[in-house]
Chains A and B, each alone.
Chain A
Amino acid sequence: MNPERIYRRVAVFGGVYSNYLALEATLEDARQRDVEAIFCLGDMGAFGPHPDRVFPLLREAGVLAIQGNYDDSMAAGKEDCGCGYTDPRDNHFARISYEYTFKNTSAENKAWLGTLPKQRRIRLGKHRVLMCHGSPRTVNEFLWESTTPNGLLARFMRDFHTDAILCTHTGIKWQRILPDGKQVVNVGAIGRPENDGMTNVWYTVLTSGDDLHVEFAPVHYDHETLAREMEMEGLPPEFIETIRTGWWTTCLEILPAKERARGKH
């Protein structure tokens, strides 16, 4: 096993969802924060327009990525995104976005997604950090703040021999410090606002120290241009409304009660 690379400060984001404008803005913001590396926890495609535009940005910036469920599906040519929805309404919109994204992503970029590792481990100072997409055990497991019990997180820390777990997949950020000081951070997504009525998106900056320091960084980007391009591409008006208003209109049924109650729809 490779010894894990040790860092002092890194930026981590998830869920690009083809939002290349938010990706550009995130990379620019991260560069100004003196980070030593930038990591992406997967799901490059979905939702947004022109999926091929995110790949050169990721490569040029030297982003160290892992594979999300979407990336796995795209690379393997699967029939659906493997998002893990069960509700018919959620699945209806997931299908539209997957078909568009699959059709508009080049074979070369699909192959690149296939080369990404499933997980990564680094050290931030003395802290062992495990990066995954959904959960350490399943790529498309949803770890929402209100449905992820401490007992489960403690078990993950033991089973996966780590001091911190970073994940995404749900699209809403949160952080939990367990009684023994170990930490879980869902870094959220940069592809879609997080259902709070704000149009910005979020990524995370982690800094080593006695305790692992976690800072959620807001990213404002030209969401109006993105919305217009989505319209030109004929993507569903529901998706475009989310970009313009910051409220989710789809993928709502997978939300647990607490998270659903906070949104508008």
Chain B
Amino acid sequence: MTTPTVPFRHLATLWIQVTGTWCNLQCAHCINSSGPTDPWLKSLDTRTVKRYIHEAEDLGVKEIYFTGGEPFLHKDILELLAFSLAVAPTTVLTNGTKITEAVADSLADLARKSPYSLEIRVSVDDIDPDRNDRIRGKGALAKAVRAIRLLYARGLLPILTATEILQAEMPEGNGMYDRFRDFLLTQGIAKPRVKIIPVFPIGRMAQEGGGLLTEEMLRGYDFSLLQCTETRVVADGGVYCCPILAGLKEARLQERGLKESLTSCRLYHTACVTCYQTGMTCKNF
């Protein structure tokens, strides 16, 4: 059986795994097994990130995303966000624990100064502290909610993001999306924004013997639904085809240049099945 490949269309989104897999939390479902000790993927240095952003601008990138690990552990994160916002709309994915009043002030300032939107996605797993903190660590929900309130008070409109990991524990019909939305409203967030993401069989959720995509399954399939046709990720080691697979050797397309990585890529991982089945995108919208 041959591994199917997907053609490349255009570079719409650049993902920057700025802190590698370095995170101050150690969530039970983390797609890239991030954590506080011995991250298996290193952070990117500031100069490298700027070079990639510059290259992406020339290639006509539409959006830039910062992820990790936890991006706010990077010593130059605010400088990098400012640099990115001069080029394109920019999103940062965070657990919110490092967003102090001073950081929130700086982010509001960056957002005001850029012609492009700054989006901040704050991750939780449930609005119930016990359930959430069981996945994400003690006090994680309270800190995330505090971050959301600090940002909202400064005119930013954070997007509450969660995986569906705890959905199975909820009674039928009690959808996460509506619960999270209602929760934000009760917190005084009048413009609630919520993004729910499926759980991927990778990282700490990796499963033995999961199914793979076949060429048969992809016959007649609209490839534009797959984000690997328009996304590239820069992380330690080079350029990768997908934010979920970043850092994995089989997903690496290039060691250096972004331009050289705009080629077809292989749908070799069990996580590719999740995208195929759910039509999922890591983008905001």
Contacts and interface: CB of A to CB of B under 8 A. Distances in A.
Interface string A150-163: 01101110000000
A137 B9 CA distance: 10
B-side interface size class: 20 to 34
Contact of B117 (A138, A152, A257): A257
Interface string B177-203: 100010000000011010100000000
A261 B155 contact: yes
B89 interface: yes
A87 interface: yes
A254 B57 contact: no
A261 B157 contact: yes
Interface string A125-149: 0000000000001100010111111
A260 B157 CA distance: 8
A142 B177 CA distance: 23
Contacts of B233: none
Residue from the set B58, B63, B117, B155 with the largest chain A CB neighbour count within 10 Å: B117
A44 B184 CA distance: 36
B157 A151 contact: no
23 contacts: A85-B285, A86-B281, A86-B283, A87-B195, A88-B177, A89-B177, A145-B115, A146-B116, A146-B117, A147-B62, A147-B116, A147-B117, A151-B58, A151-B59, A151-B88, A152-B60, A152-B88, A155-B59, A253-B285, A256-B119, A257-B119, A257-B156, A259-B117
Interface string B95-124: 000000000000000010001111100000
Contacts of B56: 151
Contacts, number: 74
A143 to B, nearest CB: 9
**Chain A to chain B: the 4 pairs with minimum beta-carbon distance, closest first:** A155-B60, A256-B117, A149-B88, A146-B117
A148 B116 CA distance: 8
B145 interface: no
Contacts of A152: 60-62, 88
A-side interface size class: 20 to 34
A228 interface: no
A87 to B, nearest CB: 7
Interface string B137-179: 0000000000000000001110000000000000000010100
Nearest to B155: A261
A87 B87 contact: no
A253 B88 contact: no
Given A87-B195, A151-B87, A253-B193, 7 more contacts: A86-B285, A147-B62, A147-B89, A149-B62, A149-B89, A256-B117, A257-B111
B57 A146 contact: no
